[in-house]
Amino acid sequence: MSTSTTFCTLLQPSCIFAKNCRNLCYKRSCNCYSFSYCMMAINTQNSTFLPLQEKVVHKNTTARVIELVILSLLVSLLIYRIVYFNDQGHYFPWILALLCESMFTFTWILVMSTKWNQCSTKTYPERLLNSVNESEFPAVDVFVTTADAILEPAIITMNTVLSLLAVDFPSNKLSLYLSDDGCSPLTYYSLIETIKFAKVWVPFCKKYNVQVRAPFRYFTPESTPLKDDSLEFQQEWKKMKNEYGDLYKKIEFASQRPIPCDRNSDFADFYNVHRSDHPTIIKIISENKEGSPNDLPHVIYISREKSSKHHHHYKAGAMNVLTRVSGVMTNSPLMLNLDCDMYANNPQVFIHAMCMFFSFKNEEDAGFIQFPQAFYNGLKDDPFGNQLANFYYLANGISGIQGTFYAGSNCFHRRKVIYGSYPNDKLKTDKKDLHKIFGNSFELQESAAEILSSSNSKIESQRRPSSFIEAAIRVAGCSYEYGTMWGTQVGWMYGSTTEDVLTGLTIHGRGYRSVICTPDPPAFLGCAPTTYTSANTQQKRWAMGLLEILFTDKSPILLTIKGNLWFRQSLAYLWLSSWAIRSFFELIYAALLSYCIITGSHFLPKVNEPAFVIPGGIFVIYNLYVLWEFRRINLSFRMWWNLQRMGRVTAMTAYTFAFVTVVLKLFGLSNIVFEVTQKGESNDDEDTSGRFVYDTSPVIVPGVAILLVSLTALVSGMSRLGEVGFGEMVCSVWMILCFWEYLKGIFGNGKYRIPTSTIWKAGALALFFVQLCRRWS
């Protein structure tokens, strides 16, 4: 529990215009957003004595009761399995059902534990501005990461950069680092041109208090100044729109042709380099030499050294290079990391973060501050189930334990925590220890000692990045980490493709807590996958990385036993890490339904048995409960159904492949490849957003096979209704409804048709399964 004063009363905005400021308006925002929570009842003279953030506890009694009822039914089902085990003529389906239902019960216990205590945090930026001088704010190093200029278009990355440069925060307290893991001259060129535009865009935003500071969201095709706006504003608005149009055209034109990288050009560093084999490139694009709060912040381009002889550890490796380079160049006590598509949607996001850092007396209460991931291009009703809307209650629940997961973006970190410090523990800072931990760079050792021996809020760096380029290039080398603790005890952790969750788990394992901050409007907005293929790729990568965590030396169980990870926090991490394992049991359960129908056996109670109410009650109560949860946060029935069906589809496709891939890796038979998710719209001429488009990937083969088996079983069962179980038939129909899009894909045309090769592979698996069932019957 935080040592700061907490309140359980959620104060409501008193300004009727507050909600209007949530819209992506093109004009100057009304002044109410400057005090966005509009707590006008607060006496500003006494604001110094009011908390900068409040913990809001949400009543959760009804949900707890329903969850306990579902748990009691699940336990009753297990008891039924054990008690009536000897009465069954077919032991095989009964044993499989018992194993699967045991896993489902365990999963439900994990979910209940995570959701039990619902709370959220509310910040008051206006109180901070009234009580703390901007000169007292700690400096922040901002990291923006991109890995592929094609899958992650440069114009999206540059809008993220522009939104960050224009936030309401002293520019002399900011340094922005762009990590280009694709070593793309296009990204470098785009950044140079973007900084030129930023010199007029940032003053414009601050002069007119523009709320949406990413130009591609501010200058929409239908946006125009209002007639009651001043003539000066209208003129500057038109000028700014034209300027941004020119920037867009430059970047778009550059993306359609190779950028000349001659030895004598400005792009000489990119001459004859390959994205996976090149030396370090560090360029200072903008430097605030005078330390003026009104100039642009430092802006630095980084493309770390790559070599086929060295493992580069994907995003975790890039983050560690950013940490070392920034430690040498600017050494800010706080760090914010963002994916390239996550632009700053709320210009006061840094002020909200400062509310957190200034309000906690003990650093252990806020090891990191996580802002939720939200999306500006989210498809209506989330047809692919990838917009994380169903994480609302889980996020509030884990906030009531040791704190939210680290989500890989939108997160403020304390550099001291990333450097491996423990709460209330002073690390040794002698040269021998620093060399062993951080490497042989004297500059990095010196900056690390400064961080580890000082209070974050008291560090005031006046470094000029241009004075440390050589040292920065040295610490960005691909062999620098050998013989150090980077990736094992310091920095972002290696060992999983979901380096974010593993790093957050390690921080929690040291005893730190974390905090989630949910301002209105959302702090950051990003780009969600808009095609089924990219959404499936993302889900598969998440499930693989999360499962890998269970087999590292930092698994939740080990950190609970040997570290300082809270027990219930460990259960929350177990739920998250076991996505791929659960998919294996879901796949077996789905196949078991068809097996029983084809063989004329059953594993669910018959309709005339009193025990039939147990699985029937679980099915009805659970689905109604989840629907009730969705309606409480104003989500549609359609979204509920999409998430229900995609939960089954994703489990039996992406998660199943993730499970198999990790198992093969553990046996040394395969290596995991990091796949970048496509950002922005598809390059196809036809808009396929929200529609199921298929490729030749084998990921969907198990799902198509389950559909074909379920259809076969249903047809077989219809011909002998009196011999098959009613429960099995209902569940088979439910499975077919969940895979309805696949059924449409089998008979579809063009890109909306599942490839013939995939259908044949799935058909062969289905035929083999059906023949196996008949042989065992």
Average pLDDT over residues 446-475: 81
- Three-state secondary structure call for residue 360: coil
| Averaged pLDDT of the chain | 88
* Nearest partner of 539 among 645, 385, 342, judged by Cα: 385
- Write out pLDDT tens, residues 282-329: 999 999 988 888 899 999 999 999 998 888 999 999 999 999 999 999
pLDDT on residue 427: 60
**Is pLDDT of 9 > 70?**
no
pLDDT on residue 46: 46
**Is pLDDT of 236 > 50?**
yes
Give the residue with greater pLDDT, 337 vs 87. Answer: 337
Distances 375 to 244, 297, 341, 678 between C-alpha atoms, Å: 23, 27, 10, 14
Confidence of residue 682 (pLDDT cuts 50, 70, 90): low
Choose the weakest-confidence range: 104-113, 505-514, 530-539. Answer: 530-539
Measured between alpha carbons, how far apart are the two ends of the chain, in Å? 58
pLDDT on residue 32: 31
pLDDT on residue 723: 79
Average pLDDT over residues 653-675: 87
**Is pLDDT of 17 > 80?**
no
Which residue among the candidates 269, 339, 341, 500 is catalytic per the annotation? 500
**Is pLDDT of 654 > 60?**
yes
**Is pLDDT of 681 > 90?**
no
Choose the weakest-confidence range: 212-216, 309-313, 481-485. Answer: 309-313
pLDDT on residue 14: 31
pLDDT on residue 428: 60
Average pLDDT over residues 167-175: 95
**Is pLDDT of 758 > 50?**
yes
CA–CA distance, 755 with 244 (Å, rounded to integer): 42
pLDDT on residue 684: 54
Choose the weakest-confidence range: 131-140, 383-392, 549-558. Answer: 383-392
- Helix/strand/coil (H/E/C) assignment for every residue in 664-686: HHHCCCCCCCCCCCCCCCCCCCC
β-pairing, 119-123 with 53-57?
A: antiparallel
pLDDT on residue 725: 85
Which residue among the candidates 148, 181, 341, 382 is catalytic per the annotation? 181
CA–CA distance, 574 with 401 (Å, rounded to integer): 14
Confidence of residue 212 (pLDDT cuts 50, 70, 90): very high
- Helix/strand/coil (H/E/C) assignment for every residue in 247-304: HHHHHHHHHCCCCCCCCCCCCHHHCCCECCEECCEEEEEECCCCCCCCCCCEEEEEEC
- Write out pLDDT tens, residues 89-119: 678 889 999 999 999 999 999 999 999 999 9
pLDDT on residue 441: 95
- Three-state secondary structure call for residue 398: helix
pLDDT on residue 461: 57
Contact 217, 342 (CB under 8 A): no
pLDDT on residue 227: 72
Provide the percentage of residues in the chain whose pLDDT is more than 90.
71
Type of residue numbered 671:
N
**Is pLDDT of 609 > 70?**
yes
Radius of gyration of the chain (CA): 28
- Write out pLDDT tens, residues 708-754: 999 999 999 888 877 788 999 999 999 999 999 999 999 999 889 99
**Is pLDDT of 697 > 80?**
yes
- Write out pLDDT tens, residues 335-366: 999 999 999 999 999 999 999 999 888 888 99
CA–CA distance, 80 with 215 (Å, rounded to integer): 61
**Is pLDDT of 12 > 60?**
no
pLDDT on residue 683: 52
Confidence of residue 22 (pLDDT cuts 50, 70, 90): very low
Give the residue with greater pLDDT, 503 vs 222. Answer: 503
pLDDT on residue 566: 97
Q: Residues 6 or more apart from 44 whose CB is under 8 A from it? A: 126, 130
Contact 531, 378 (CB under 8 A): no
Average pLDDT over residues 414-439: 85
pLDDT on residue 30: 35
- Write out pLDDT tens, residues 357-399: 998 888 889 999 999 999 998 888 999 988 878 788 999 999 9
Confidence of residue 85 (pLDDT cuts 50, 70, 90): confident
pLDDT on residue 459: 54
Confidence of residue 579 (pLDDT cuts 50, 70, 90): very high
Question: What are the structure tokens assigned to 767, written together?
Answer: 């035929």
Q: Which residue has the tokens 């946060």?
A: 633
- Write out pLDDT tens, residues 252-268: 999 998 888 877 778 88
Other CB atoms within 10 Å distance of the CB of residue 476 = 24
- Write out pLDDT tens, residues 181-193: 999 999 999 999 9
Provide the percentage of residues in the chain whose pLDDT is more than 70.
90
Give the residue with greater pLDDT, 529 vs 710. Answer: 710
pLDDT on residue 330: 95
Based on the residue annotation, tell me whether 500 is a catalytic residue of this protein.
yes
E-state strands within 340-449: 343-344, 368-370, 411-414
pLDDT on residue 87: 73
pLDDT on residue 341: 94
